[in-house]
Amino acid sequence: MPLAANKDVFITCAVTGSGATQDRSPHVPRSPQQIAESAIAAAKAGAAIVHCHVRDPETGAPSRDPAMFREVTERIRDSDTDVVLNLTAGMGGDIVFGGVEAPFPVNAAASDMVGATERMLHIADCLPEICTLDCGTMNFAEADYVMTNTPGMLRAMGGMMTALGVKPEIEAFDTGHLWFAKQLVEEGTLTSPALVQLCMGVPWGAPNDMNTFMAMVNNVPQDWTWSAFTLGRDQMNYVAASVLAGGNVRVGLEDNLWLAKGQLATNAQLVERAVTIIEAMGSRVMGPQAVREKLGLTKRAPKVAA
C-alpha cells in the first residue's frame, strides 16, 4: 500500500491505564477527580478524545467500579472543555493461572474474570461516545496472566455496544485481532466503518518494528478509521509514523511516562508534543466536534440514577 499521509489527524490521550505505573510517576492520576482533571488538561492541549480507566484512589490499583466511572464522566462533561469520551471496557477479562505445573485452580485473588453484562455495566450507565473492545485473547507480559476475550464474549459485548449506540474502538494487539474484527463487522455485530486502535509493542502482541506496523496497517479495511501507539520511548516516533501511514495518534501516561530522558511527563505535555509533531508534518489537528462528525458520534449524558 502506498503511503498517504493523513492531513486531518485526531489525538487520543490515554489518561491513566491499568498498569502498575501509579508509583513510578506522581503525574499518573488515581482518583476520579485527578483523572478528570488530567483528561481536561489533555483536551485543552489538543486531544480530541480522552481514553479513561479508573483506579482505587488510595492504592492506585485498577478498578472497574461503575461509580468511579460515572464520577469521571460527570466531571469531564460538567467542565467547560469539550472532548470526546472513550471509556475502557477491557477490565474483567483477566485470568492468572496457578502456575506452570498446576495451572488449575486459577489464582482467584489475582484474576478478575466476569461476564459480558458486568463488564459493560459502566458503559450502559455512563453512555460514553466510544468504548474499547479488546479484540482477542493474548499472553500479556506476566508469566501466568492471560488477557481473555473469547469470540463469544466479544460478540456479546460488541452487540451490547452497538445496541447502546456507543462506538466500539477495536483494540487490535495483533493481526488475528483485526481478522476477527472484520468478522464481527461482516456478521453485523459491529457496524461499518469501524474504528481501530493498533496497539504496538505490548508484550506479547505485535512488536513495534515498522514491518509489523505496516502489516497491521495493511490489514485495516480502507474505509475504517485507525489510530496507533506504542509503549515507552518510541511513543512520539509512532506519532510521526501513524500520520505518515494515514492514521491518527494516541499518546498519554497509560503508555509512556516520559517526556525526555530523566523528565517525567504530564498528559498535557505529551499531547502538546504530539501536536507539535503533527503540525510540523503539515497536518491539522482535529477538534472534538470534527471527530464526532467524522465518526458519527452522539454526545449523551449518563443515565439518570433511579
- CATH assignment of the domain containing 279: 3.20.20.70
> What is the domain range of residue 272?
8-83+168-295
Q: What is the residue whose three cell numbers read 502498575?
A: 20
Quote the pTM value: 0.96
Dihedral through CA 121, CA 57, CA 41, CA 77, nearest 10? Answer: 40
Q: Is position 150 within any domain? A: no
Q: How high is the pLDDT of residue 143? A: 83
Q: Is position 69 within any domain? A: yes
Q: Is position 115 within any domain? A: no
Bridge-based pairing state of the strands 195-200 and 167-172:
parallel
Most distant CA pair in the chain, distance? 56
Asked if 185 contacts 172 with a C-beta cutoff of 8 angstroms, the reply is no
pLDDT digits (tens, 9 = 90+) for 227-283: 999 999 999 999 999 999 999 999 999 999 999 999 999 999 999 999 999 999 999
Q: Is position 1 within any domain? A: no
Among candidate residues 80, 112, 85, the one with its CA nearest the CA of residue 96: 112
Is residue 2 very low, low, confident or very high in pLDDT (cuts 50, 70, 90)? low
Q: Is position 193 within any domain? A: yes
Is residue 303 very low, low, confident or very high in pLDDT (cuts 50, 70, 90)? confident
Task: Count how many residues are written for the chain.
Answer: 306
pLDDT digits (tens, 9 = 90+) for 95-116: 999 989 999 999 999 999 999 9
Output the CA torsion sign for 300, 39, 112, 169: positive
Rounded to an integer, what distance in angstroms lies between the CA atom of residue 268 and that of residue 79? 16
Asked if the model's pLDDT at residue 306 lies above 70, the reply is no
Q: Is position 184 within any domain? A: yes
- Give the chain's domain count: 1
Q: How high is the pLDDT of residue 302? A: 81
